Structure 1
Amino acid sequence: MTHAPPKILISACLLGQPVRYDGKGKPLFHPAVDRWREEGRLVTICPEMAGGMPVPRPPAEIENGASGLDVLEGRARVLEVTGGDVTAEFIAGAEKAVAFARANGCTHALLIDGSPSCGSVAIYDGSFSGTKHAGNGVTAALLKRAGIAVFSPADIDRLDVLTR
């Protein structure tokens, strides 16, 4: 008996949906994405929108070079470039992403990198200067804590091999 390949939670912006802070998508063109879509294996979410944020919205970063884990543990906030505190929205979106992934049987996630929600390799440092540092966004950190393997677009080939 063969097992069905796992479902994959994917950032909506990677499928070209205009959900990013700037009202745009950031489509990831890759044969694996096309195949997963055809196989019905993609489960789409934008954690920031799931947390109640509008499109477009001011850019946001995790303060002081901290990480998503720091936000989840109450040691850091997510702030907009305008100074607004959107920590609660980011945590709510992360919690909804984990619940949605579990409800749909996702064991892996493919998330846009750099985002204060979805970044899994590097995120912006909170200075709004374009400087990145190693770290996870809030959603990536909570998904990992929940046992869901998180991948960035740079790791799509490895994700493809692991989920066949």
Structure 2
Amino acid sequence: MIIVSACLLGLNTKYDGKAHTHAMLQKYSTKGKFIPVCPEQLGGLPTPRVPVEIIGGTGQGVLSGDCVAQGEQGEVVTSEFILGAKEVLKIVELVPVTAAILKERSPSCGVNCIYDGSFSHRIISGQGVTAALLKEHNIPIYSEEELTEERLVELLERV
């Protein structure tokens, strides 16, 4: 099975209650090999919810306690982000997961980059909290932005 950010499959799980529907992922979702997840919902946050960014670092820093996940108005939601990442990891432990396809720039799911914590749309290199935890556990992670159809078919063949 492949973990996929639920918003990419058309589920309205994004912070603003909308989706980031990815046509190619939606097309292949009928194969029954995707597990849609929203770590922020699994961590107990509502939808819609305030925009959140990682302040002072990346997902690895949140996991190690060196920085926080914080809402635009200052509300700290670090524990919810960590819980959501751990819940996704439980899914990985329950079913044979061969990879994860995650939403780039998300404070949970960002694979290569996230927003810098200033809420000014500046991007930095680094991973979101869930992406970092999956990588720590040797689950291959891919951004929807770097995914080609050829790569997706190859990933699906491994399931």
TM range (shorter): over 0.9
Counterparts of residues 1-164 of structure 1 (less than 5 Å): 7-30=1-24, 33-35=26-28, 37-64=29-56, 66-157=57-148, 158-164=151-157
* Greater mean alpha carbon deviation, residues 45-54 or residues 146-155: 146-155
Contact 1:122 1:132 in 2 (8 A): yes
Structure 1 residue 104: Cα displacement: 2.0
Structure 1 residue 162: Cα displacement: 4.2
Kindly report the root-mean-square deviation, in angstroms, between the aligned alpha carbons of the 2 structures: 1.2
Counterpart residue type for residue 118 of structure 1: C
In the alignment, structure 1 segments of 5+ residues that lack a partner are 1-6
TM-score scaled to structure 1, two decimals? 0.90
Contact 1:43 1:101 in 2 (8 A): no
Q: Secondary structure at the match of 2:120?
A: coil
Identical columns (%): 41
Matched length: 155
For residues 116 and 96 of structure 2, the distance between their equivalents in structure 1, rounded to whole angstroms, comes to: 33
Contact 1:43 1:104 in 2 (8 A): no
Q: Secondary structure at the match of 1:106?
A: coil
Could you list the runs of 4 or more consecutive aligned residues of structure 1 that deviate by over 6 angstroms after TM superposition? none
For residues 81 and 136 of structure 1, the distance between their equivalents in structure 2, rounded to whole angstroms, comes to: 19
TM-score scaled to structure 2, two decimals? 0.93
